Structure formats: C-alpha cells, structure tokens
Amino acid sequence: MKKGSVRACHCRNVGVSLVCLAIFAFCGVVNAETVITANLTINPAPTVKPGAVLKFQADVFHNPDFDRPAGTRMRIFVTRSDFSWVSDKLDIEYPGMGSVHVNFNDGFTIPADAKSGEKFDFCLVYGPWLQLSNIASVKVLVLRSIRTKRIEQIKIPEKIEKKCFLTLNFISKTSGFPGTTFEMIGVFGDEQGIKMPAINKDGKGNKLIVLSWSDTKLLVKVPADLTPGIYKVGVYCSDPCQPGAITTYGMVWRDFHVFAKIQQKKYRK
C-alpha cells in the first residue's frame, strides 16, 4: 500500500468526533491515501443535462497491494472530490479473489443552474481516508434550443370544434400572378368573417380577397401587391378562447407560386 504524509489526517476511531470530521473535510479525497482496488461507474455519462440524476455502481476487486485480509468488513461510499456530497454507505466484505459488485441507492442530482462544460468528479471511498477507485467524471452539456417555424397541432376544445373545423383538400391553381383568382375546395362551413383565407410567406400573412363563399368552395383572389415567390395558402380561424388570436387547428396548407408581374412596354407615339 502506498504510504502518504496524510496519515495525520486519518480518523480510525470507531466514534467519529466533530474534530475528526473537521480534519476529514480538510484532508479531502484529493489529498487522501490512494489504493486503486475498485472501479466506479456513473450512469448517465459522460455528458449530462442540468437536472439529471446520476446513479453509481462499483466493482471492488482483490488487489495484493491492499493490506486488508480477505473477508475484512469495509464501509464504502461515493463522494464528490470536494466532499460536498456523499452517498449512502454500504458494508461489504473485501474479496479474497475476483470482485464484489455494488449498487448505491442514493443519486446525485446535477444542479438546474449548472453551466455547459461544468465538470463533476466522484470516487469511491473507504474509511473515509482511503480513495479506492478511479475518479469518475461527468460533464454538463447544455444544448441550445433551435426555434423552427411550424404549424402546431392544437387540442380543440369541444365547444368550438365545429365552428373552427377546417379542411382544405386542394386548390384549382398552384401558381399565378398578383390579382389571379382561384378556387379553394374543402370543408369550410358558412362562418365567413370568422374564418379568414390567407396566403403566407416567411412567417408573414396576407389576406386572400374572398369573391364568393360556400360550405365546400371558396373563390379567392391573390392580392395585387404580392412579391414573387412560393407562398402557402390556407384558412385561418379566429379562436374564441383567445380574443384576437387566430389558429389553423392542423390545417394542411398548399403551395402557391406567385409570378412577377409582366411589365408592358410603353411606346412613344
């Protein structure tokens, strides 16, 4: 067994006094005597998210350099390298050959405010002055949320389900110039004014001009001031649960290609 100058820090008495605890905290695992006779593993690892709960298990194996006879009762536990946290303590018998596998009940929770890249080190301890295992570590990884534009599937309250039920099966044209008229075929109901046909691009919405309305067919006109590009055509519904808000309730939107206006040449007389 490797001998160290930290023997003065050992607390071998059965009853651990307050003075002993103070010395124990001062010594710390990093400065403690070390005989590697166990392997500590952490799950999950090696990267974790804030709030993750770490679980620990260890294999204590026979090491001829460890001056404990086989069958020696050992009380072991997991600790952070700075002793700011310790797990439940388990009693085992030191193996004469092979190894002993142990699972610890206590888990360590990564703080919710942990920063990305922050490292947490743990090891298996006996005594509490003797480090038995390797240093097992995890690193916090915080993924940046990626915001994407999407149509959310919203649960429809029963009282407004019929009023806002919309289905767009197809459109009679998939391209045209500003001012073009086309038909929208589907199930729309008769609530014109509550429901609003629209043509959108890059998250910006424009109203389609409604020329005629029926339960199953709308005749609409593309606004004259639209710029060229690929647009999405669909129907919004005002949400009575949220005044001023509009939603689509899962409507399938159709592509519509708006072409550039044809400039007519002017001839001088």
pLDDT per residue over 87-98, tens digit each?
999 999 999 888
Q: Does residue 146 lie in a domain region?
A: no
Q: Does residue 268 lie in a domain region?
A: no
- Regarding whether 245 and 180 lie in a shared domain, the answer is yes
pTM surpassing 0.75? Answer: no
- Regarding whether 173 and 119 lie in a shared domain, the answer is no
Give the tens place of pLDDT for each residue, 190-241: 666 667 888 888 877 788 999 998 888 899 999 998 899 999 898 887 655 5
Q: Does residue 171 lie in a domain region?
A: yes
3-class SS letters over the chain = CCCCHHHHHCCCCCCCCHHHHHHHHHHCCCCCEEEEEEEEEEECCCEECCCCEEEEEEEEECCCCCCCCCCCEEEEEEEECCCCCECCCEEEECCCCCEEEEECCCCEECCCCCCCCCEEEEEEEECCCEEEECCEEEEECCCCCCCCCCCCCCCCCHHHHCCCCCEEEEECCCEECCCCEEEEEEECCCCECCEEEEEEECCEEEECEEEEECCCEEEEECCCCCCCEEEEEEEEEECCCCCCCEECCCCCCEEEEECCCCCCCCCCC
Q: Does residue 231 lie in a domain region?
A: yes
- Regarding whether 197 and 112 lie in a shared domain, the answer is no
- Regarding whether 132 and 50 lie in a shared domain, the answer is yes
- Regarding whether 135 and 29 lie in a shared domain, the answer is yes
Counting the structural domains of the chain, the total is: 2
- Regarding whether 127 and 170 lie in a shared domain, the answer is no
Q: Does residue 269 lie in a domain region?
A: no
Domain range spanning residue 111? 5-140
Q: What is the CATH number of the domain that holds 132?
A: 2.60.40.10
Q: Does residue 263 lie in a domain region?
A: no
Q: Does residue 56 lie in a domain region?
A: yes
Give the tens place of pLDDT for each residue, 16-47: 333 334 334 433 444 456 778 899 999 998 99
- Regarding whether 135 and 19 lie in a shared domain, the answer is yes
pLDDT at position 59: 94
